[in-house]
Chains A and B, each alone.
Chain A
Amino acid sequence: MSLLEVNHASKNFGSLVAVRDVSLKVEPGELRAIIGPNGAGKTTFFNLISGFFPPTSGSIVFDGKDVTGLSVARRVALGMARTFQITEIFPELTVFENLRIGAEVASGYRLRPWLGKSETAAIKRRVEETLELTQLADKSSRLVGELAHGDQRATEIAMALTLKPRLLLLDEPTAGMGDKETYEITRLVRRLHRDNAFTVVLIEHDMRVVFHLADRIMVLAEGATLAEGTPGEIAANETVQAAYLGKAA
């Protein structure tokens, strides 16, 4: 069974059709990339999946459960986590504190007035594991607002990871990065996917990143699906080349 199924989703903003009848199936363990020119509706599509707003029509099924009408918090509880194109973090808190909030919420402690010793230790362990995984351990006590852009992006991904998500939605994880930072983040995503078996859907502009990482690629243009297939198929697809890759190359 697919982990994520989007069935004929559309989203209108007034007379503007941002997403038009898009369907998508993501299998467990898959790394799926969504590409397309600016304004193709990629982020809107992400917002539909993650529950930022409801689709005008169509449905979203996560792990066999229809989540179309569920709140963001409920979807997160079911195992969806996302990052944003523009980094969304808690700037005046340290890296550790940023991650701890995620770990506590995911452990069901968000309304707790206190934690026991073993619970505190378990949270600390979970945060430290994630810091190791994302190679942020040496920056644990730094304020996130003072970190370099690349480390802030990594912190945001790490926050999503503290939720132990079953589906990780990454919106342009390398946006605004130089070559070295792009390389670091690409390695991180690959590690998460290959070594830790995370299911990932990512929007990306950098074609090197996409073709390096993705199992399958979906191409959106003007809100609709232009093509869908393996990196090889997409690279060979003439429509895609004409509409998108041709211009980029």
Chain B
Amino acid sequence: MSETHRKLAALAAIWVVLVCAPLWMPLVGGYTALGSRVLVLGLAAMSVNFLLGFTGVLSFGHAAWFGLGAYGCGLILKFIALSTPLGLLAGTLLGGVLGGMLGALIVRRRGVYFAMVTIAFGQVFYYIAFQWSSLTGGDDGLRPFYRQPLHLGFTTVDILQNSTAFYYFVLICFAAAVALMGFLLRSPFGRTMLAIRENERRARFLGIPVEMHIWIAFTLSCFFMAFAGSLYALVNNFADPRGLHYSQSGDFVMMAVMGGMRSFWGPLLGAVVFVVLQDYVSSITVNWQIFIGLTFVVVVLFFPRGLLGFLQARRRG
């Protein structure tokens, strides 16, 4: 029972920290917009990890679905309708549906081959966004568009100027997404994902059609990823072809691995480390990526289960 209690306490602590972020962040030299960025990139890293850590499948092109989400959301806001929810919905559908369609073509690939094909798909979307300037703005990115006030019926919330209100909007979206993720992982379907991660042959001979289950997990992960991407377009009021690039995919994998891919919350911690390092170090030197790379190497060498995995193992042992 104490293990359960400890887990509940840790969960409560995470949510208290997140809910109170606008209060404590300025005290440690942060700012609220940084919090929104962490949540969105953390959600993206958790989406990658839904597949990597819990199904055992490494996609190295997940930025494609992230970027498509961002463009879907941005294009709606720029050309179609001034509605934040519609933008989110469109972005999530664009990335998720395309991800699911392409995923169906590659679920028979494994390991390195799977990762290579996902990179290739990602790069295709990168070049489309890069070249199709009339629609996407090409290398300059998609602009101008702005996140729109939320009409709740009884009141209207300005999330454009009021960064605290926007942070809470992002937090609610984040909470809904990770709650759904956690719910799925605890379901019978989620347990078949773990089975595939643990031992594909055994899973198959228990009667699980492995390819179908990997495809479903991949598609779900794409939808989560696209939702994160749509939110990212709102964070920046901007969508950029580099959000689709494989180096962006690599960043997400790095966050997941750094934070701990076997733990549900690990990738969020990875995103915190990544974003804070990026924000802090890039104000000192343009070579900030060296420091992120070094941190990554140190973590992988000395904490192979990631930062959160290391903390959890220490508490147990």
Q: Report the bound CA distance from A92 to B261 in whole Å.
A: 14
Cβ 8 A contact of B208, one of A81, A91, A105: A105
Which residues of A are found within 8 Å of B189, using beta-carbon distances? 110-113
Cβ contact of A90, chosen from B183, B184, B199, B209, cutoff 8 A: B199
Of the stretches B130-138, B190-198, B308-316, the one at the interface is B190-198
Q: Which of A77, A90, A113 contacts B198 (CB 8 A)?
A: A90
Q: Could you tell me if B188 and A110 are in contact, using CB atoms closer than 8 angstroms?
A: yes
CB-nearest residue of chain A to B198: A90
Q: CB of A104 within 8 A of chain B?
A: yes
Task: Tell whether A76 pairs with B187 under 8 Å between CB atoms, given A84-B201, A90-B194.
Answer: no
| Pair A109/B207 contact, Cβ less than 8 Å | no
Whether A90 touches B202, Cβ cut-off 8 Å, given contacts A112-B189, A113-B184, is yes
A50 at the interface (CB under 8 A from B): yes
Q: When the two chains form their complex, are residues B199 and A89 in contact, meaning their CB atoms are under 8 A apart?
A: yes
Interface string of A17-37 (1 = CB under 8 A from B): 000000000000000000000
Classify the secondary structure of B's interface with A: helix
Q: Which of B187, B207, B216 contacts A105, CB < 8 Å?
A: B207
Would you call A106 an interface residue if the criterion is a C-beta within 8 Å of the partner chain's C-beta atoms? yes
B205 at the interface (CB under 8 A from A): yes
A102: chain B residues at CB < 8 Å are 206
Binds B, one of A93-101, A172-180, A183-191, A240-248: A93-101
Chain B residue contacts of A84, Cβ below 8 A: 201, 205
| B110: interface (CB < 8 Å) | no
A114 located at the interface, meaning its Cβ lies under 8 Å from any Cβ of chain B in the complex = yes
The A120-179 residues at the B interface (CB cut-off 8 A) are: 156, 159, 163
In the complex the two chains form, is A73's CB within 8 Å of B207's CB? yes
Any chain A CB within 8 A of the CB of B213?
Answer: yes
B205 touches A105 (CB 8 A): no
Q: Is A115 an interface residue (CB 8 A)?
A: yes
User: Distance in Å from the Cβ of B206 to the closest Cβ of chain A?
Assistant: 5
A76–B188 Cα distance when bound, in Å, is 18
Question: Which residue of B is nearest A88, CB measured?
Answer: B202
Count class of interface residues, chain A: 20 to 34
Shortest distance in angstroms between A116's beta carbon and chain B's nearest beta carbon?
11
Which of A50, A110, A114 touches B205 (beta carbons < 8 Å)?
A: A50
Contact with A along B44-84 (1 / 0, CB 8 A): 00000000000000000000000000000000000000000
Contact indicator A113/B208 (Cβ below 8 Å)? no
Cβ-defined contact, A88 with B205, below 8 A: yes
A237 CB-CB contact with B under 8 Å: no
Which of B194, B206, B208 counts the most chain A CB atoms within 10 A? B206
| Residue on A nearest B190 in the bound complex, by CB | A113
A239 contacts chain B at the CB level, 8 A cutoff: no
Known: A97-B191, A110-B188. A73 touches B201 (CB 8 A): no
Contact partner, B204, options A72, A93, A110, Cβ 8 Å: A72
User: How far apart are the CA atoms of A104 and B186 in the complex, in Å?
Assistant: 13
Task: With both chains docked as a complex, state the minimum distance between the C-beta of A75 and any C-beta of chain B, in angstroms.
Answer: 8
Bound: A81/B202 CA distance, A: 11
Known: A73-B207, A76-B207, A77-B207. A105 touches B192 (CB 8 A): yes
A113 and B209 contacting across the interface, CB-CB below 8 Å: no
Q: Tell me the bound Cα distance from A114 to B205 in angstroms.
A: 23
Q: What residues on A are CB-neighbors of B205 within 8 Å?
A: 50, 72, 76, 81-82, 84, 88
> Given A111-B189, A113-B189, A115-B188, A90–B195 Cβ distance below 8 Å?
yes
A–B pairs, 14, beta carbons within 8 Å: A73-B207, A73-B208, A73-B209, A76-B206, A81-B205, A91-B198, A100-B191, A101-B195, A104-B188, A105-B192, A110-B189, A111-B188, A112-B187, A113-B183
**Which residues of B line the A interface, CB within 8 A?**
183-184, 187-189, 191-192, 194-195, 198-199, 201-209, 213, 216
Q: A72-B204, A110-B213 are in contact. List 15 more A-B contacts (CB 8 A).
A: A50-B205, A71-B209, A73-B204, A88-B201, A90-B194, A93-B198, A101-B191, A102-B206, A104-B191, A106-B206, A106-B207, A110-B208, A111-B189, A115-B188, A159-B202
Please give me the 6 A-B residue pairs with the lowest Cβ-Cβ distance, nearest first: A76-B207, A90-B198, A88-B202, A109-B188, A73-B209, A104-B188
